[in-house]
């Protein structure tokens, strides 16, 4: 299978998907959870006849909390997210829900996150992802020091990671509008897990590429890359399909508690497998052949060719 020969097609597909994901991050944007913005979450259990979610939502909105998000957790439990509550407002919400459903709700959990804590969460999340990327790059440079241009392997892997994170964020921007999926602290845990999985998948291919490069140093590089991909693609796809099957089973039957985390993992496994096979390796070929440099320099050449205004 000539995967390298179709590298331009995969490059165009990835570029379009990444640009679309970046656009989605601004319009409509991610649906941020309480961990990334100030607010309060309350978990109620309602005994007796379980009301519809809209009934609970209307009751909470009647207390001047039109922004409230109400999610049914099953078995009479409801998760309510509202702006940060002042003293006495939690009691008002409980009273409104009681009037609407006919029985007093049992408060299982109440969590309040202030603005400063939310800001710290954002900074810490960005820092965690950045540190993970730096250590990944350093490890690859060290591990592939026996082949010429080991830094290229590291940069290609980091670009593939950025590709995976961007597409995952784009998927969550869509899911936030369609299913109300929020980005919270566990989302960052999922992103870090995706980074680890994607790097592992990429290194499997790169490691075979290193072996083949050392065994046949005079073979054309694109042929060595294509051979390495074909030798590892079955293992990579088998691992990804097995992992995705387990995650999908947990997503379907594991309940809502870990739903967002599992969606991150499932998206990351799919996107990570694609980028490891079709993006990272083709990026190495483009860099080695010089076509990547020509693509990056093309906008500058066009700017220089533009006639100066009279």
Q: What is the pTM of this model?
A: 0.74
Give DSSP secondary structure letters for 249-278.
HHHHHS-STTHHHHHHHHHHHHHHHHHIII
Domains of the chain: 4-33+117-301 (1.20.1640.10), 39-113 (3.30.70.3400)
Looking at the DSSP assignment, which residues form a beta bridge with residue 77?
45, 74
Label residue 22 by pLDDT band (50, 70, 90).
Answer: very high
Which tens digits make up the pLDDT trace of 217-253?
888 888 998 999 999 888 888 888 998 999 999 888 8
Inform me whether the pLDDT recorded for 199 exceeds 90: no
The pLDDT score that the predictor gives to residue 299 is 52
Q: Is 215 exposed, middle or buried (0-12, 13-18, 19+ CB in 10 A)?
A: exposed
Which tens digits make up the pLDDT trace of 70-111?
888 888 888 888 877 877 888 899 999 988 988 889 888 888
pLDDT cut 70: percent of the chain above it: 90
CA neighbours closer than 13 Å in the CB half-sphere of residue 100: 22
Q: Look at 278 and 306; give whichever has higher pLDDT.
A: 278
CA distance 74 to 45: 9
Average pLDDT over residues 164-185: 85
């Amino acid at each position: 299978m000539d995967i390298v020969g179709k590298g331009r097609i995969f490059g165009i597909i990835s570029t379009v998907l990444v640009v679309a994901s970046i656009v989605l991050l601004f319009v409509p944007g991610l649906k941020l959870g309480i961990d990334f913005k100030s607010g309060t979450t309350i978990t109620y259990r309602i005994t007796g006849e379980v009301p519809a979610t809209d009934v609970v939502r209307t009751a909470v909105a009647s207390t001047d909390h039109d922004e409230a998000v109400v999610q049914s957790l099953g078995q009479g439990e409801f998760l309510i997210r509202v702006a940060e509550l002042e003293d006495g407002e939690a009691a008002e919400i409980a009273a409104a829900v009681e009037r609407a459903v006919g029985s007093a709700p049992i408060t299982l959990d109440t969590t309040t996150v202030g603005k400063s804590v939310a800001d710290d969460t954002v900074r810490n999340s960005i820092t965690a992802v950045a540190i993970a990327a730096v250590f990944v790059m350093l490890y690859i440079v060290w591990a592939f020091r026996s082949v010429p241009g080991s830094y290229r392997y590291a940069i290609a892997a980091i670009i593939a990671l950025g590709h995976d994170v961007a597409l995952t964020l784009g998927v969550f921007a869509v899911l936030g509008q369609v299913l109300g999926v929020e980005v919270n602290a566990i989302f960052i845990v999922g992103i870090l897990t995706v980074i680890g999985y994607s790097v592992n998948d990429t290194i499997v291919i790169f490691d075979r590429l290193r072996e083949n490069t050392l065994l046949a140093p005079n073979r054309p590089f694109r042929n060595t890359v294509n051979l390495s991909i074909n030798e590892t693609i079955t293992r990579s796809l088998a691992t990804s399909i097995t992992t995705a099957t387990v995650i999908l089973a947990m997503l379907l039957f594991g309940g809502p508690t870990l739903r967002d985390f599992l969606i991150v993992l499932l998206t990351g496994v799919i996107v990570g497998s694609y980028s490891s096979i079709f993006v990272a390796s083709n990026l190495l070929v483009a860099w080695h052949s010089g076509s990547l440099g020509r693509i990056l320099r093309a906008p500058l050449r066009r700017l220089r060719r533009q006639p100066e205004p009279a």
